[in-house]
Amino acid sequence: MSTSSSTRFCSPSTIRLAISTCPNDTFAFHAILENKIDLLGLKLDIELLDIQQLNEGLFNDRFDVAKASFHAALLLADRTVVLPSGSALGFGVGPLLLASKSDSLPIDFDSVTGGPALTLCPGEQTTAAMLFRLFYGRELSAGRIRIEHVVFSEIMQKLKQQKAEFGVCIHEGRFTWKEEGLYLVEDLGTRWEQETDSPLPLGGILASRELDRATVSRIQSVIRSSIEYGIAHRGETLSTMRTYAQACSDAVLWAHVDLYVNQWTVELGDVGRRALSVLSAKARERGIAPRPGLDIEIFPGF
């Protein structure tokens, strides 16, 4: 796939669309999945996957449009644009750094013995992993921590089995870690907010730059309509969320939606655009994203 500005714009007969199985995505895309709205002539081939699978699929040109971590979006800025609708961004939405044992708190990495402390992260290109590297880069460089990437749904189980000292927890685990018998080290989202005075941008919908503008515009319109339909028909979305949720109660499903679906999901707006600029700058400052490099671009901008 070409990555230059002279890329061949195309309008494929079928759009390869992928989203996560998380309740905020299945809520937002319920109307598309269940054909409740006008798809504006688009033929969609839809997959639902883990967030790191989505990131990897975009790197491998598997999808035309997909949900992705904003860390991945930064690395893919030359090949994709972010759609204004469909993002997970806000205050109080960040990943949690959890410990498997209460005597791990507070963390004193200088006193770690027996090798570096193992921290589980939900994927190399996830925003959660990027935040951990932003805030614990010194300990990583000093060899006091090592990272292992696993599927997000395995992290809490591995912590409970004492297979790692720490884990960066995302999605439904934000609401269930206490009942799972785990211990909070730090809310990485709260730390982000304190250091940047900005909501945390977790992930958004990316569209390939090879798609023509008219096609991307139709996709954006359909996604926004689906989100607005879900908000207007809230109860109707529950069966779709249940289908894909990781054994969550209805209360957890709604808590997830209430936290991650907000005004910036409908439209990123100026606040969302600023948050993405801050994320880009922080990642480049810490060497997590290449410098120089393209910043994340929001459609219509290419």
Residues known to be catalytic: 171
Handedness of CA 197, 259, 129, 96 (dihedral sign): positive
Q: Which two tokens stand for residue 220?
A: 């954006």
Q: Which residues pair with 80 in a beta bridge?
A: 208
Q: How far apart are CA 83 and CA 297, in angstroms?
A: 9
Q: Residue 255 corresponds to which tokens in the numbers above?
A: 């808590």
Closest by Cα among 191, 166, 154 to 106: 166
Tokens of residue 274, six digits: 């600023």
- Does residue 203 contact residue 51 with C-beta atoms inside 8 Å? yes
Picking from 133, 180, 147, 152, the residue whose alpha carbon sits closest to that of residue 49 is 152
Question: Under a CB-based contact definition with an 8 Å cutoff, are residues 96 and 168 in contact?
Answer: yes
Q: Going along 1-92, which residue ranges are E strands? A: 15-20, 44-49, 65-69, 80-82, 88-90
Helix (H, G, I), strand (E, B) or coil at 177: coil
In whole angstroms, what is the distance from residue 55 CA to residue 21 CA?
14
User: How far is the C-alpha of 265 from the C-alpha of 280, rounded, in Å?
Assistant: 19
Tokens 């972010």: give the residue. Answer: 82
Q: Among residues 228, 230, 213, 114, which one has the least CA distance to residue 165?
A: 114
